[in-house]
Every structure is written in structure tokens, then in C-alpha cells.
Amino acid sequence: MRRAGRPDKLSTLTPEHSLKRLELTVTRRLDGLLHGEHLGMLPGPGSDLAEARLYQPGEDDVRHMDWAVTARTTVPHVRDLIADHELETWALADMSSSMDFGTALMEKRDLVVAALAAIGFLTTRLGDRLGAYILHDSGVRRWPARTGRVAMYALLQALLDSPRSTQVHRGPPLASALDGLARSQLKRGLRVVISDFLDHRQTPDGELAWESPLRRLAARHQVIAVEIIDPRELDLPDIGPVMMTDPETGEVREIILTAKVRAVYAAAAEAQRTRTREAIRRCGVSHLVLRTDRDWVNDVARFALRQRRVAGRARPQGSRT
């Protein structure tokens, strides 16, 4: 009965029709073989010149200035580039013990599947490849990058089938998984890290342990950090004494949820979110927050449109949309 119900669950988490008109704007030059499928945002070899157009202050790079047209018309013009790319997307999907939690519309682990589905629908339409590293308490599983919807659905099903932890213990740190992804996949592309970022391990200088690996990953690739949040991680209900278990360490404590305790907890949770947000910003990566109590499709849509505006460059006539 459990297996028979999974296809319906998968289709609920991945409403493809809601994402068909969206695309992620890739802002870095990527290696690849497909011609004209993606628009290069930085000049480089393997790019073809397109038409000249008016310079847009604050949006265009002055290095793209077409001086011949500018001199002839006395109006600043830039030359668009159509780059020859193939986009290769790799995701790091956190399916550790802390993701087996949810008090709203879905569990956090289901939202991981939804987030990866959104990225997959937005990046595989043009024959691009999607692969993943799946972080479990027992280790990291590599799912090879493949093209096509069949391969993408197989990856999503593998996430849904991933076993839940039967024994609470601390698994591999997020930092080591990020390092593994950076070392194994050197070809420039899009990297998506989907996690709750609740790994509080620190370096000797007090920095979050995953911050430096994420920064190194962003130095070579375009990176999107997808933070998964459940509302009960931000605010506790007024229900009196409860027994709480840390899903990462197994520590159990009895806590009386008084107004003071709830206020202290809410302040600590906000501080943790602020620290995570600032660390991601320092790494120079895009930050998408998905919550189990919100419509994740709308959040992804707003994020994709915001990324498009940030890229801020019009496509040449005749390019694919």
C-alpha cells in the first residue's frame, strides 16, 4: 500500500504545469557543447557576437561596449554575446535526520524533493544534465548526471525512497559533503545546495564549518542555497511540559514551555537564521527560503523572476525563451 501511493505523492510535489514558464537565469559562463541554448552573461571564448543594442546603465558590463557603433551613432551601444553552453546542474540534497520533521503542509524531506523537482523542471527542458549528491546519516550517495525527464523522475523517486533514520546519530557534516561535490565536479555549472543548514559545527575561528566550503564552491560555479524551514523551528507552541529529542544527536530533554522559555527560544531561532542568512550572503550565493507552511511553487516562482531581474539583460532577437 505504501509503494502504490508514492506516484500520487510525487505528482503532488512536482506540479510541472506551474513551472513551465519559468527558467533560472544562469549568470556565469558555463562549459559545454550545446549551441545557443543558454545566454552567456560574461564574455569568453566560444561565444558568438549578436546584434548591438543600446547600453543600459547599471545593467550592462562596459566591457561589452561596441565602440564602433557608439562612435558612429554617438549613443553608447553594447554587443550581446550568444555563448555555446551546456548547463550541468548538480544538487546536494540533505536527507539527514533533521529533515524527518514537519508540522505543517509537508515534512522537510518532502520539501527537499519539491525543491529539487523545481530545479529539475527549470534546467532540463533544453537537454541539460541533472545529477545529485544525497546526504544521509550513513554517508553521501552520488546520483550521476543525466538528461531527460525519465532520469529526473528516477532521481526524485530515489529521494522519496531514501530510508529514514532508524537510529539517531550524527552523520557526515554538511561541510564534507560540499567539499566532495566541489572536488568531484569541476566542470563549471549550476550547483544547488538544499538543506536546513542546522549543522552548527564551527571552525576554530568561530566560523560555521560549511561556510568556507560553500564559498569555494561559489568561486567556480553559480550556486543557489535553498534553506528548508518548518514553523515549529522558529516558534514553540504554548503546550506546557514536553519531551524533546535532537534528531541529529539523539539528546532527550524535558522542557516546560513557559512564556519565558518560548521567548528565549524564538530569539535564539531568529539569531540562528540571521547567522545562516549572513553566512550565505558572505559566500556570494543566491538564497531561496522554502517553508513547510507556505506554497513552495509561489516561492520558487518569485525567486526565479527575481533572479531574472537581477541578471537584467535582454535576450537578442531570435534567441530561445
Q: Within 10 Å of residue 84's Cβ, how many Cβ atoms?
A: 18
User: Which pLDDT value is given to residue 279?
Assistant: 95
DSSP state of 58: T
DSSP 81-139: EEEB---EEEEEEE-SGGGS--SSSS-HHHHHHHHHHHHHHHHSTTS-EEEEEEEETTE
Q: Within 10 Å of residue 259's Cβ, how many Cβ atoms?
A: 8
Please say if the pLDDT value at position 51 is more than 70.
no
Please say if the pLDDT value at position 34 is more than 90.
no
- Summarised one tens digit per residue, pLDDT across range 116-165 is 988 887 776 666 788 999 998 888 889 988 888 788 888 888 888 887 76
Residue 227 near residue 196, CB atoms below 8 Å:
yes
User: Which pLDDT value is given to residue 278?
Assistant: 96
Domains by residue range for the chain, with CATH: 6-22+86-228+287-308 (3.40.50), 47-83 (no CATH)
User: Which pLDDT value is given to residue 247?
Assistant: 67
Rg (CA), the chain: 22
Residues sharing a CB contact under 8 Å with residue 240, sequence separation 6 or more, in sequence order = 256, 257
Instruction: Tell which wins on pLDDT, 278 or 252.
Output: 278
User: Which pLDDT value is given to residue 30?
Assistant: 29
Instruction: Tell which wins on pLDDT, 211 or 247.
Output: 211
Please say if the pLDDT value at position 68 is more than 90.
no
What is the phi-psi region of residue 33: left when phi exceeds 0, alpha when psi lies from -120 to 50, beta otherwise? alpha
Q: How confident is the model at residue 96 (pLDDT cuts 50, 70, 90)?
A: confident
Pairwise CA distance, residues 273 & 214, whole Å: 17
Pairwise CA distance, residues 289 & 228, whole Å: 6
- How large is the average pLDDT for residues 48-71? 74
Cell representation of residue 112: 527537499
User: Which pLDDT value is given to residue 245?
Assistant: 77
- Summarised one tens digit per residue, pLDDT across range 266-314 is 999 999 999 999 999 999 999 999 999 998 888 888 887 777 666 654 4
Please say if the pLDDT value at position 21 is more than 50.
no
Percent of the chain with pLDDT over 70: 73
Please say if the pLDDT value at position 223 is more than 60.
yes
E strands of the chain, at which residues? 47-54, 77-83, 88-94, 129-136, 139-147, 190-195, 222-229, 240-245, 252-257, 286-291
β-pairing verdict for 222-229 and 240-245: unpaired
Cell representation of residue 314: 535582454
Residues in the chain: 321
Residues sharing a CB contact under 8 Å with residue 42, sequence separation 6 or more, in sequence order = 27, 28, 29, 61
Secondary structure (3-state) at 240:
strand
Please choose, from the candidates 49, 97, 121, the residue with its C-alpha nearest in 3D space to the C-alpha of residue 316: 49
pTM (2 d.p.): 0.72
Instruction: Tell which wins on pLDDT, 21 or 243.
Output: 243
What average pLDDT is seen over the chain?
Answer: 77
User: Which amino acid type is present at position 287?
Assistant: H
Q: How many CA atoms lie within 13 A of 95 on its CB side?
A: 28
Alpha helices (runs of H) in 204-295, residue ranges in sequence order: 211-220, 259-282
Angle made by CA atoms 189, 190, 193, in degrees to the nearest 5: 135
